[in-house]
Structure 1
């Protein structure tokens, strides 16, 4: 019998709302740092709110760095697109801008602690997610957009689609739906 690496992956399983909520809070810290929030405040908040262990290895490297690289900071700001998908997945917002528009990061402060009038533990406890079929439908839609932009790149065709926006959103929804059961840093965006 021939086996592959994929045979060792757990089956796809949509993640629980509380797991998505913890991921959103940790990612909010990363995005905030990328957007210029004081490092000491982000570091302390993640520690104090027991979110430190929610950071992925790449996020941990970024948050722990005394002097993050420019690329790390740019990558962190792009994660705002993933955060928007997580919040949409949790029904915290209907706001998910058009696929050609970057998200408005100011909405995060309206929805997420420590700025919103809710503690991290309350945010997690009150989390609920959209139905599986809606989440899977979004994953299919984002995969289609991702294929369209890749096809345009391969064939040197013009497109108004933005690969960075699509890739971050596709990554986030694939994590939400448990694509290949992969952890955050290892989620793929196959097309």
Structure 2
């Protein structure tokens, strides 16, 4: 008996189907209506049963959101062993004719009525799981234990990073925003045209919110404070560009003078020569910050004291920048989310 299967891979370059089946379709990020299809699948997951968010629905939501390739094929049940091997290599979830969503081992991740067994594991690339374990081991040496069920962050085989020229433009825009926030705090706002003249690359890259802020003759005090914090988001981007040698532990504020000095020195870079740090380093920083972010929130919400100094505001801004850098939810700068 043959079954119609839809497989959803999060990998940028998944292994081709190498088992006996009738291949019906394969599409990816550049395919017509692909995003609409994924959104529909997310809707199916979220509306099952009581429709309330839970850990499994969130895992499925994130997997579908990261999907870059969908395979549709008909396969005989006697080929399931070969299908499983391929499915593990391609890091897919499988949508079956009975409405179940399954992992590569054919174990049910979610039933049509929304029920699930928390012990059935979601598929993740092995390197992502290894990175998670390494981070947890490091945090344990500091007396910290994040929630074990927190998922790994995006893997090298899954991530599509912002380009170096996108990162440098975003870094310069953040620098201009921070400088203007300082000038507002000193009641001596700078003329935005001066930014345009001195750093045209950064000025052109300002987000809508940033543009409105630096042109606002009397911004709200909270807006000034929020934009002042953006220096902490600038630091990891400068580090990603190799403009900073290290990304210090999040137990102290950044050196604003140093950030601005380095930004000014690189305000008119040769874009073709820009490079980012190795992807593995960027994802190591993301994974560590993600778990620190959860810890800081958890300890605050439960009115507990952390065993070491961690500055939640610093972590929050770094998470914002790192999520943008790694295209979390494919969001533009103003719309980046930092869930834990």
TM over 0.5: yes
Please give the secondary structure, in 2, of the residue aligned with 1:3: helix
Q: Does 1:188 align with 2:334?
A: no
Q: Does 1:88 align with 2:239?
A: yes
1:29 is matched with which residue? 176
Deviation larger for 83-92 or 60-69: 60-69
Measured in 2, the distance between the counterparts of 1:125 and 1:27 equals 21
Q: Does 1:149 align with 2:296?
A: yes
Distance 1:55 1:166, change over 3 A: same
Name the one with the larger helix percent.
Answer: 1
> RCO greater where, 1 or 2, for CA within 8 Å and sep 6 or more?
1
Displacement of 1:129: 0.7
Displacement of 1:4: 3.3
The normalised TM-score by structure 1 is 0.86
2:41 is matched with which residue? 3
The equivalences for 1:1-191 within 5 A come to 2-4=40-42, 12-36=159-183, 39-41=189-191, 43-48=192-197, 49-113=200-264, 116=265, 118=266, 120-122=267-269, 124-159=271-306, 160-191=309-340
- RMSD across aligned positions (CA): 2.4
Measured in 2, the distance between the counterparts of 1:26 and 1:69 equals 20
- Structure 1's unaligned 5+ residue stretches are none
Which whole-Å deviations, capped at 9, do the CAs of 1:111-154 have from their partners, x for residues lacking one? 112xx2x5x33264442211111111111110010011111123
Distance 1:4 1:128, change over 3 A: same
Equivalent pairs, count: 186
- Structure 2's unaligned 5+ residue stretches are 1-36, 44-60, 69-158
Bigger radius of gyration among the two: 2
Instruction: Report if aligned partners of 2:232, 2:314 keep a CA contact under 8 Å in 1.
Output: yes
The normalised TM-score by structure 2 is 0.50
Which whole-Å deviations, capped at 9, do the CAs of 1:83-128 have from their partners, x for residues lacking one? 0111001011114332110101010233112xx2x5x332644422
Segments of 4+ in structure 1 off by > 4 A? 5-12
Distance 1:80 1:148, change over 3 A: same
